[in-house]
Structure 1
């Protein structure tokens, strides 16, 4: 229990430093070192954990973040983002533009990890917000909600696929059950929730503003293909590598399924498709990476804090405390995962760690498919300062800490709690 108290002190220190306007990256590193030392870790192990945390976090993410930023900048500078805005608003109407963003978030979120999908979609969100004069959060929360829901509930997203393999769940049933949960949850968290919290901050007339046509913009087909090309490539790669066993064709699909490879191909195709000189294209790419440099550093520091919590054994303490509770297997799976999520920050780490603990609980009261969804729901619970997604949302939307808690953290908590409710409801209806 003392270790949990120390972690709480570390989180409070982080909040204090951030409120005092210390750069979040520096604050995270200071808190990581302080928390590690207070938890009794040797100095050398603390510094090694910080290095490992940064390396493991950025190792699989930095290329995706950089290429996603480049693609976003190319799409914005070419006018493709503005063309997409026009098409979406004509298709859905400005009053229903949230639904367009929500749908796009689903399409992007199924194959991509949250951070990669976020970087791909954020230029589109800002472009629509600018054109309609709507608050960025009015559109940003639907995007984030869709990405979070796919991260927790929908294969072939990598998270649910990994959990399905652990629990030996049927992918088709998991997808069907996941869709039954995802649509109402995304609607409540992504459409109803932002309208509720932003009520009174939008003039009625603003909902009727449409951008003017611009004949110089790229065609709609070209704009959508280049913007969504990473999604198409990853979906095709995922399906191909799943159902095709023949080499070397399967290796080609495996290559396309990798987010970094898909984004690299999209960047190269965008450079050749739009009317850029190579110099102009490289300038756009450079500016795109510059715009997220501090965000990358903050994410890295968040990874360091996460690793300190893992290496110090705090996660094992949480598991030991929650494992002794006599509860429904599905609720216990959610509770253990949620506890790890709140403590460790990483949804993926929390889900995979919890799955090993609750695997023996499978039975008549907990089907493999619903166990996947229960763990997925728990992995989204109460995202806060030790989660890289928290800092990405905060920095991209230029929010204060209280604002981030009221928007991002509240949205994630709504998704998690509704996911738990939906899983228990399906258990009673289906079994």
Structure 2
């Protein structure tokens, strides 16, 4: 009976989101209604909602805020554009897809998906015009890279929120996620567009010389700023987990904390890029404004997650799944994928699924791999209820059929390969 009530709650959530309700308001409303229908006393529902919001945001809100600040600083200084221009010259015309793909990865780690997309789209158009290559030949590598970083890698909201829920090590998530990222984006961003476009490469054009490059920061400063947060977290995690005990170990523990790493990265970026402090602070404020609603959606998702836990639904799922011979990692991916197809938002689908599959952690899947499995599921079959679908369609002026056959298929490839990669990592590591 409890699972039928949860199903009703998910259908209600879908109906509200389709009805143009804010996902935050929809999630809070459904959390309360579902809790009451599951027989929880009113006072317990209210305390559960508050606990869910607090426990979800408590450890991640500063990570999300600092990540947004970092992304805004990189965007406004022109570091992202400089990275594109350098990689294009380095890889050359024949390997231009690789330049776009690696740019998407580097820009996508510090920038949230929408910001990265808006920053890189004009550059994709400029490169396509200069090289006379099909637009989708370049757009898909960019989109695949941004999508993978959005679903798998901290400090993006989904992975950070899931790490908090599953009590997973963010540094290990980042390391495992980076191991999976390259083969996944190669399949979705390099191999897939070459298979579907089936067009001979035109003759190489004159050397690509972007306008205004002389006004951008140097390549060293640009790469250093973009990769600094990731480098700090990885160095700290490696020192904490893989180096023998020593007096320096507390330093690595300190450095591996995402909040500390991002705070250091924000401060150093201000100095590296020589940004006036007053202007840098204004940029930081604008960056946080851009993700305010995402933070609230995550908070509301945490409330729904806590209702599912406190009402015992998670234990019911655990009991039922024990009689099914399926890997918990696969089950987590499947539930998230179904929610993604139903609800649209990758973040909402991931956090909602986390509340359902949380009791499965340790039952054949580490917390870090559960985060990546849910992250992979949250990218499955993006379609008309996802804002990313419409952004890709409208920016590149595609028909619905073309968007389904390119963007939707690419997202599904990324999702399925993510699941396979997680299962392989689980066999190797555990």
TM over 0.5: yes
Instruction: Confirm or deny: 8 A CA contact 2:83 2:103 kept in the other structure.
Output: no
| 1:140 match | 143
Distance apart, 1:257 and its partner CA: 1.0
Q: Is the counterpart of residue 58 in structure 1 residue 57 in structure 2?
A: yes
Aligned residue in 2 for 1:368: none
Alpha-carbon distance in structure 2 between the residues aligned to 1:357 and 1:428: 14
8 Å CA contact retained: 2:103, 2:142: no
Alpha-carbon separation, structure 2, partners of 1:90 and 1:220: 12
Q: How far off is 1:416 after superposition?
A: 5.3
Give the Å deviation of 1:280.
Answer: 1.1
3-state secondary structure, aligned to 2:363: helix
**What displacement does 1:210 show?**
6.8
- Separation (CA, whole Å) in 1 of partners of 2:426 and 2:275: 55
Aligned mates of 1:185, 1:358 — CA distance in 2: 23
- 1:289 deviates by 1.0
C-alpha contact 2:83 2:223 (8 A) present in aligned 1: yes
Structure 2 partner of 1:231? 230
Q: Which moved more, 1:30-39 or 1:86-95?
A: 86-95
1:68 aligns with 2:74: no
2:347 aligned with 1:383, yes or no?
no
Equivalent-residue separation in structure 1 for 2:64 and 2:262 (angstroms): 10
Q: Provide Cα deviations, 1:159-189, integer angstroms capped at 9, x if missing partner.
A: 7xx9999xxxxx9xx97xx95x765444334
Give yes or no for contact 2:350–2:374 (8 Å, CA) kept in 1: no
* Equivalent-residue separation in structure 1 for 2:391 and 2:184 (angstroms): 26
- Confirm or deny: 8 A CA contact 1:237 1:257 kept in the other structure: yes
User: Distance between the aligned counterparts of 2:270 and 2:114, measured in 1?
Assistant: 20
Whole-angstrom distance in 2 between the partners of 1:270 and 1:79 = 12
TM-score, normalization by structure 1: 0.70
Match of 1:35 in 2: 34
Task: Check whether the contact 2:229–2:265 (CA below 8 A) recurs between aligned residues.
Answer: yes
Deviates more, 1:410-419 or 1:54-63: 410-419
Residue 276, structure 1, aligned to residue 271, structure 2:
no
CA distance 1:34–1:194, change in 2 (3 Å): farther
Contact 1:92–1:100 at 8 Å: present in 2 too?
A: yes
- Residues 119-138 of structure 1 mapped to structure 2, 5 A cutoff: 119=111, 123-133=115-125
Indicate which of 342, 353, 360 corresponds to 1:354.
Answer: 360
* 1:337 aligns to 2:332 (yes or no): yes
Q: Tell me if the contact between 1:98 and 1:142 (Cα under 8 Å) persists in the aligned partners.
A: no
Q: CA deviation at 1:54?
A: 1.3
Aligned 8 A contact 2:80 2:107 in 1: no
Instruction: Extract unaligned runs of 5+ from structure 2.
Output: 126-134, 155-159, 340-348, 394-399
Structure 2: how far apart are the matches of 1:44 and 1:276?
A: 50
Structure 1 contact 374–419 (Cα < 8 Å) conserved: no
